[in-house]
């Protein structure tokens, strides 16, 4: 991942005299330095801006700097907002308005009009807020003291989300073959996706992959198999199947890296010239941060790579998931999620096992090797991006993952068990009403708030199903959103 940075732009004006401006400058530098030490990305203090041209020049520079993933603004003093219009009107990067102040307390004895002139963030940030609202710009507003842990956590989450925006805008998706025949929800308008989200989604023939596989050497396969052995327990004697998956992984990785792709899809209906559907191969690629979608689902593949990039260390615990079956025993209602093979090991509670089993569906001539494990317990989200025709809708549901309540010894795939919010059946009703897909990205690492911010920055519809959602309220919300998004 690129060495992303964020720019700190402090608003002021020349009215206060050089002493005040010097103090603002020193403090802004100190804040940026200290915050850089505890945020996931550096915050670079750029300027205490006093004029229209200073702001416009800095924002123009930010737009063109490929390492700048967003700007953070704050007004230590009052900064008249007409100075900001030309700059902000041209802003192409995510924007966070940090409504903070240098000091945490009002000093009882020392406070006088000099103190008030220097420390008037409450005043300045309102003028700054007005112009954001007046320009109708997407922005994140975070209020509170800059040393407060909650404020720093929210600013850090916003930074990760802004990196998700930068990642999305340069994302290339490699499709091996087309979508699974007749499926509706995996279809979509690739031109609209590129306009809104930046994704370059293109198809390569399965034959191109087979040709690449034929060029993989035994030494390359040896090296990758040694890596598998170091990371996973080998629970099969079928070494040939593991070596075949290694060959598939090496070939897919080479093709993606050569073309700058960070996400891929394939389908069991088009494995022409291949012996096995990539299972272990796709799982280990996901572990390295590549997005994946089964059955040609390029939307979920792209979203998987974006949520990974938004997670801890730029490759968080997020993976491709599919709702499979329910446990509807009263009081113990759960969903069981899995896929034919391809569940990312970043979701695993324990060390995954490599197993080989027969796969009846698709064109598999031989039993594919795959990683088998149970998902972690804990709060998580599932995310689905659907094409509503003319617009994209992002649906996020809060879920609580549990250790699977049954051992399921004959289930030959990785599995995650969870309860959707607000409860399983209401949650399912809401998800279905909103049109959420069976394919999702499941993430322990990215929050619904982060996805709301991401959707706002990308200018797409956002639907959140949480513990407080009711079907009645959701139905009304969807009706209103349908109208709004037709007008937009
Ligand atoms: Mn599927």
- Give pLDDT tens digits for 80-110: 999 999 999 999 999 999 999 999 999 999 9
CA 424 to chain centre: 25
The pLDDT value given to residue 203: 98
The pLDDT value given to residue 362: 73
3-class SS at 186?
coil
CA of 341 to the centre of ligand 1 (A): 10
For residues 428 and 40, give the distance between their C-alpha atoms in angstroms, rounded to a whole number: 35
Q: Is the dihedral of CA 243, 244, 246, 247 positive or negative?
A: positive
CA of 329 to the centre of ligand 1 (A): 25
CA of 293 to the centre of ligand 1 (A): 8
Q: Are 75 and 127 in contact (CB under 8 A)?
A: yes
The parts of the chain modelled with pLDDT lower than 50 are: none
CA of 295 to the centre of ligand 1 (A): 6
CB-CB neighbours of 1 under 10 Å: 12
CA of 72 to the centre of ligand 1 (A): 40
CA of 135 to the centre of ligand 1 (A): 42
CA of 232 to the centre of ligand 1 (A): 24
The pLDDT value given to residue 61: 98
The pLDDT value given to residue 1: 73
CA of 339 to the centre of ligand 1 (A): 6
Q: How would you class 57 by CB atoms within 10 Å of its CB: exposed for 0-12, middle for 13-18, buried for 19 or more?
A: middle
Q: How many CA atoms lie within 13 A of 85 on its CB side?
A: 6
The pLDDT value given to residue 193: 98
CA of 201 to the centre of ligand 1 (A): 19
Between the alpha carbon of residue 104 and those of residues 114, 119, 143, 283, the distances in Å are 17, 11, 12, 48
Q: How many CA atoms lie within 13 A of 340 on its CB side?
A: 20
The pLDDT value given to residue 119: 92
For residues 484 and 488, give the distance between their C-alpha atoms in angstroms, rounded to a whole number: 6
The pLDDT value given to residue 360: 82
pTM of the predicted protein model:
0.97
The pLDDT value given to residue 256: 98
Q: Are 201 and 175 in contact (CB under 8 A)?
A: yes
CA of 298 to the centre of ligand 1 (A): 12
CA of 204 to the centre of ligand 1 (A): 20
- H-helix or E-strand containing 304? helix 298-310
Domain with CATH 3.40.50.10940 in the chain: 5-169
CA of 114 to the centre of ligand 1 (A): 65
Model confidence pLDDT, tens digit, residues 428-443: 999 999 999 999 999 9
CA of 280 to the centre of ligand 1 (A): 16
CATH no. of 5-169 = 3.40.50.10940
């Amino acid at each position: 991942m690129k060495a992303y940075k964020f720019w700190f732009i402090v608003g002021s004006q020349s009215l206060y005299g050089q002493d005040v401006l010097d103090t603002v400058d020193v403090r802004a530098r100190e804040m940026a330095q200290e915050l850089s030490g505890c945020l996931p990305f550096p915050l670079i203090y750029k300027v205490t801006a006093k004029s229209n041209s200073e702001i416009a020049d800095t924002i123009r520079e930010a737009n063109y700097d490929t390492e700048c993933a967003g700007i953070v603004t704050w007004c230590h003093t009052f900064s008249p907002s007409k100075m900001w219009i030309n700059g902000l009107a041209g802003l192409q990067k995510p924007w966070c308005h940090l409504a903070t102040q240098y000091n945490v307390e009002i000093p009882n004895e020392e406070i006088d009009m000099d103190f008030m002139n220097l420390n008037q963030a409450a005043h300045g940030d309102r003028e700054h807020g007005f112009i954001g609202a007046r320009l109708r710009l997407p922005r994140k507003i975070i209020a509170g003291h800059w040393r407060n842990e909650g404020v720093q956590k929210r600013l850090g989450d916003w930074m990760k989300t802004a990196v998700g925006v930068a990642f999305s805008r340069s994302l290339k998706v490699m499709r091996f073959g087309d979508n699974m025949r007749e499926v509706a929800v995996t279809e979509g308008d690739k031109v609209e996706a590129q306009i809104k989200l930046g994704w370059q989604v293109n198809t390569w023939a399965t034959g191109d992959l087979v040709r690449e596989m034929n060029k993989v050497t035994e030494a390359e396969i040896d090296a990758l198999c040694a890596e598998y052995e170091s990371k996973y327990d080998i629970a099969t004697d079928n070494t040939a199947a593991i070596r075949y998956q290694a060959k598939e992984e090496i070939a897919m990785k080479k093709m993606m890296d050569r073309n700058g792709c960070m996400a891929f899809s394939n389908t069991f209906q088009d494995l022409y010239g291949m012996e096995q559907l990539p299972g272990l191969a796709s799982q280990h690629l996901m572990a390295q941060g590549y997005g994946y979608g089964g059955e040609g689902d390029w939307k979920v593949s792209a979203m998987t790579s974006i949520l990974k990039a938004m997670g801890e260390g730029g490759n968080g615990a997020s993976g491709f998931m599919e709702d499979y079956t329910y446990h509807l025993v009263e009081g113990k209602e759960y969903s069981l999620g899995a896929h034919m093979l391809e569940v990312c090991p970043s979701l695993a509670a324990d060390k995954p096992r490599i197993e080989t089993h027969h796969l009846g569906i698709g064109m598999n001539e031989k039993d594919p090797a795959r990683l088998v494990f149970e998902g972690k317990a804990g709060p998580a989200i599932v995310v689905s991006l659907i094409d509503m025709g003319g617009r994209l809708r992002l649906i996020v549901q809060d879920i609580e993952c549990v250790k699977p309540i049954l051992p399921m010894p004959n289930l030959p795939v990785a599995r995650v068990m969870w309860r959707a919010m607000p409860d399983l059946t209401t949650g399912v009703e809401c998800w279905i009403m909103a049109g959420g897909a069976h394919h999702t990205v499941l993430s322990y690492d990215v929050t619904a708030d982060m996805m709301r911010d991401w959707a706002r920055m990308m200018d797409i519809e956002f639907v959140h199903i949480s513990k407080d959602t009711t079907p009645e309220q959701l139905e009304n919300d969807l009706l209103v959103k349908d109208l709004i998004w037709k007008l937009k």
